[in-house]
């Protein structure tokens, strides 16, 4: 069933299948559901032709993987990046299916995008591409069928161009995309949601594992990778709570703080300057850093091996950004919590290192949370945006923040309980349950039960 040229999807499937082992041993009737759920309901692939500012015609590949609609309309982002291929989108849509299930909202799973690279393109070129892309995609989506959103390379500008084109083609204003502007159907806290939700989830992990590393203390050291939307708002929330941010990164290198202390560290002002930089497509290497801040730029390296002490590590860049070697370096640096803001941010080898450290228990144990649980806040607020569009209402920032906190709390509790019940571990030594197993089993059961009720397996 799985093509050998789909490594990212194979990795996601292997992670789920491995986690489900003890549950499937106790409930073998669900093996048929696993066989069926791994195949997308539909894959749409199409060409996109667009014109650059010099009048030259270009062609890109466009995709939409409509993975599973058992719990609601297909829901998942549109990624615009040269690396986009079917394997990556299948992995993302597969993960999205179970992530959305963990939010408790009525959303199925999907993912899409194109190998178009928005970096270095003018506004006009991006507008023409988005309009051409939506001209084809509009045939396959709808507010009750498939509701895409932003992702890497697809921010508020791109969502706006796509929404405008859909409206012109269909002659209707409906909530067919999320991540819209706040004055025309968007939701408060949507840009912040993934980062804020990640921190809300991590706070529950801290309370159970290492309350001494509360984010309310500047002595708690947090390493973050990435410098896009998720990383930015994760950092801002840590700083708001008074924790210390040690790092941010991009594809070319890392900003790090080797010796945190009074006056040294990544500040709110620096994060805000990075936000402006990234809007213009700039790289972290172009930042003007002063020696007084204690922040330095290290080219060609991710932050995980560069920091002498880390308490909490939050990968927020892209898939497979923490290797087994880097995981070992983090443990040596004293990490206690690793939670993914990115999707499948850790390699299989890294997860094995973290899970082995969890099973040891004690004061040096490490607790790992997979992205399908810890970064569900983004799609949760997308679901809340859909609800607001359906009611023609706009909820306040405070209302949405409270709902987001409630959804992430419920997600953590579901993962904790399922990990305790279905991981196949005795936990007799006082070690904490696997949130990886808990997230995978809980999400799978919810989707599989809905599919069975609807006649998709028997």
* Residues with catalytic roles: 111
- Burial of 36 per CB tally in 10 Å (0-12, 13-18, 19+): middle
User: DSSP states of 312-358 as a string?
Assistant: EEE--SSTT-B-HHHHHHHHHTT--EEE-SSTT-B-HHHHHHHHHHH
Q: Which residues, other chains included, contact 92 with Cβ-Cβ below 8 Å and sequence gap of 6+? A: 65, 76, 77, 79, 111, 343
Q: Is 150 annotated as a binding residue?
A: yes
- Burial of 439 per CB tally in 10 Å (0-12, 13-18, 19+): buried
Q: Is 438 annotated as a binding residue?
A: no
Adjacency order of strands within the sheet including 57-68: 42-51, 57-68, 109-114, 74-80, 146-149
Q: Is 96 annotated as a binding residue?
A: yes
Number of other CB atoms surrounding residue 278 within 10 Å? 18
Q: Is 324 annotated as a binding residue?
A: no
Q: Report whether 93 contacts 111 (CB < 8 A).
A: yes
Structure tokens at 116: 């178009």
Q: Which residues, other chains included, contact 88 with Cβ-Cβ below 8 Å and sequence gap of 6+? A: 8, 9, 79, 319
Torsion of CA 386, 389, 391, 397, to 10 degrees: 80
- Burial of 259 per CB tally in 10 Å (0-12, 13-18, 19+): exposed
Q: Is 405 annotated as a binding residue?
A: no
Q: Which residues, other chains included, contact 63 with Cβ-Cβ below 8 Å and sequence gap of 6+? A: 43, 44, 45, 46, 84, 86, 89, 112, 113, 114
Q: Report whether 238 contacts 215 (CB < 8 A).
A: yes
Q: Is 229 annotated as a binding residue?
A: yes
Q: Is 99 annotated as a binding residue?
A: yes
Count of alpha carbons within 13 Å of 7, Cβ hemisphere only? 5
| Binding residue ranges | 75, 96, 99, 150, 194, 229, 382
| Binding residue ranges for NAD(+) | 194, 229
| Binding residue ranges for substrate | 75, 96, 99, 150, 382
């Amino acid at each position: 069933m799985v093509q050998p040229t789909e490594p990212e999807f194979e990795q996601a499937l292997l992670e789920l299948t491995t986690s489900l082992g003890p549950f499937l041993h106790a409930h073998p009737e669900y093996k048929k559901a696993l066989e069926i759920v791994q195949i997308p309901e539909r894959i749409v692939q199409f060409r996109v032709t667009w014109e650059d500012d010099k009048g030259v015609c270009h062609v890109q590949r466009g995709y939409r993987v409509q993975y599973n609609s058992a719990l609601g309309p297909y829901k998942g982002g549109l990624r615009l990046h040269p690396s986009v291929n079917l394997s990556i989108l299948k992995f993302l849509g597969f993960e999205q299916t179970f992530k959305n299930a963990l939010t408790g909202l009525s959303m199925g799973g999907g993912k899409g995008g194109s190998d178009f690279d928005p970096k270095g393109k003018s506004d006009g070129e991006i507008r023409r591409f988005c309009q051409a892309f939506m001209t084809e995609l509009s045939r396959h989506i709808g507010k009750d069928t498939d509701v895409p959103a932003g992702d890497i390379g697809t921010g508020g500008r791109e969502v706006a161009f796509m929404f405008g084109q859909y409206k012109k083609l269909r002659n209707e204003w409906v909530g067919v995309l999320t991540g819209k502007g706040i004055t025309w159907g968007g939701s408060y806290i949507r840009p912040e949601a993934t980062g804020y939700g990640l921190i809300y989830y991590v706070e529950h992990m801290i309370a159970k594992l290492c309350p001494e590393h509360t984010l309310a203390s500047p002595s708690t050291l947090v390493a973050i990778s990435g410098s896009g939307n998720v990383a930015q708002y994760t950092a801002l929330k840590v700083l708001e709570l008074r924790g210390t941010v040690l790092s941010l990164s991009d594809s070319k290198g890392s900003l790090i703080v080797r010796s945190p202390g009074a006056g040294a560290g990544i500040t709110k002002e620096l994060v805000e300057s990075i936000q402006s930089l990234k809007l213009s497509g700039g790289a972290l290497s172009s930042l003007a850093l002063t020696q007084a801040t204690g922040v330095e730029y290290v080219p060609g390296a991710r932050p995980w091996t560069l920091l002498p002490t880390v308490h909490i590590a939050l990968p927020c860049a892209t898939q497979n950004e923490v290797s087994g070697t880097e995981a070992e370096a983090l443990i040596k640096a004293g990490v206690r919590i690793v939670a993914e803001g990115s999707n499948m941010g850790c390699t299989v080898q890294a997860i094995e290192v973290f899970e082995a450290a969890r099973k040891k228990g004690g004061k040096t144990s490490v607790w790992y949370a997979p992205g399908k649980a810890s970064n569900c806040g983004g799609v949760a607020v997308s679901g809340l945006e859909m609800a607001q569009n359906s009611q023609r209402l706009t909820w306040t920032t405070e209302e949405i923040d409270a709902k987001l906190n409630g959804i992430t709390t419920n997600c953590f509790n579901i993962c904790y309980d399922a990990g305790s019940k279905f991981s196949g571990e005795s936990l007799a030594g006082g070690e904490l349950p696997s949130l990886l197993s808990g997230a995978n089993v809980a999400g799978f059961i919810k989707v599989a039960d809905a599919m069975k009720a609807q006649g998709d397996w028997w």
